[in-house]
Amino acid sequence: MNLPAGTCKIAALAVALTSMTAFGEDLKIGIIGLDTSHVTAFTKILNDANAPNHVPGAKVVAAFKSASADIPSSASRVEEYTATLEKDFGVKIVGSIEELCTQVDCILLESVDGRPHLEQARPVIAAKKRLFIDKPFAGTLHDALEIQRLAREADLPIFSSSAYRYYPGLVELKQTNVGEIRGALSYGPAHLEEHHPDLFWYGIHPTEALFTVLGMGCESAVRTHTADTDMVTGIWSGGRTGVLYGLRTKPLPHKVTVFGTNASAEQKPGGDDYAPLVREIVEFFKTGIAPVSIEETIEIYAFMEAADESKRRNGQPVKLSEVLEKARK
């Protein structure tokens, strides 16, 4: 049955208010995966009331340690980050994800390796704990779609985003009146990791920035690849275009430029920290309303997978619908 738009908004507000009442003011947050600097950075922002960028309303209280032996940046840092959480913030380390879910209200899935995300998300979704999944959302587009399916069946809201989306300069750019946006250019670091599709590892950041200003509706992608750079051109609905320029040599700046029917505008520098994203995560945990839809997240990963397929086809255009159909099998 289709409800009137006003009724849907009232129902969503009722759910949000009920959730906030149920959780109270202080959320107990658990972390899965302690092999990325995000775990200490996010915990400091949440747990340290004296931090200049402190976000109130939630605290990290428990965590499940995991790492990937075949990714050096994961295996070499997990013990250090675990010790910091225990010693500096009093976070309890538990023996399983199932145990973690019994002790917290919500979960940050922070494993730097996207490959285990699907299996790590399963018990969280089964326990119906609101879930933020850090980049990369999954190790493959197939796994990303499976996470989406499980969350839908459980009627559980999940949220994933790069911190780039909430940098003040990008937020301001998105609000700048340039008329109808007809195109955009996003450039930034795009380091590769052999166990992930090329752009999933670090190219996700400038890719998400591109989608932040253009929104959904990408239909196809074509990629030019060299050892030092990647250039991916996407065609959006209505003839809009988006260009991703991935960098792998220093310096490694990042910026978005938009081209509208009345003017063009560039992202201003500065304000590059995690606090705005953490604030969005806490609000999502309280209300259950994801600021970025899972559908947009899936389209972002389909764009990156189409870029990989274009590389395999020596720079031929690839439709997102094709890679999505293949990944669903």
Contact (Cβ atoms closer than 8 angstroms) between residue 86 and residue 56: no
CA angle 230, 232, 233 (to 5 degrees): 150
What pLDDT score does 24 carry?
57
Q: What's the rounded mean pLDDT across residues 85-93? A: 98
* Coil/strand/helix, residue 62: strand
Partners of 172 in beta bridges: none
Domain boundaries, the chain: 5-163+276-293, 165-271+300-327
Q: In the structure encoding, which two tokens stand for residue 116, read together?
A: 């285990």
The class of domain 5-163+276-293 in CATH terms is alpha beta
- Rounded Cα–Cα distance for residues 18 and 24 (Å): 10
What is the pTM for the complete model shown? 0.91
pLDDT(69) > 70:
yes
HSE-up of residue 290 (Cα within 13 Å, Cβ side): 18
What pLDDT score does 5 carry?
45
What pLDDT score does 21 carry?
39
Q: What's the rounded mean pLDDT across residues 279-284? A: 98
- What architecture is the 165-271+300-327 domain classified under in CATH? 2-Layer Sandwich (3.30)
Q: In the structure encoding, which two tokens stand for residue 180, read together?
A: 């109808």
pLDDT(6) > 90:
no
Give the strand pairing for 27-32 and 158-159.
unpaired
What pLDDT score does 79 carry?
97
Residue 136: is the preceding peptide bond cis (ω within 30°)? yes
CB neighbour burial string for 182-197, b if at least 16 within 10 angstroms, e if fewer: bbbbbbbbbebbeebb
Condensed to tens digits (0 to 9), the pLDDT of residues 172-212 reads 999 999 999 999 999 999 999 999 999 999 999 999 999 99
Starting from the edge strand earliest in sequence, which strands make up the sheet with 255-260, in order? 264-266, 255-260, 181-189, 241-247, 229-236, 218-225, 318-319
DSSP 164: G
Contact (Cβ atoms closer than 8 angstroms) between residue 264 and residue 181: no
Residue with tokens 């955009």: 184
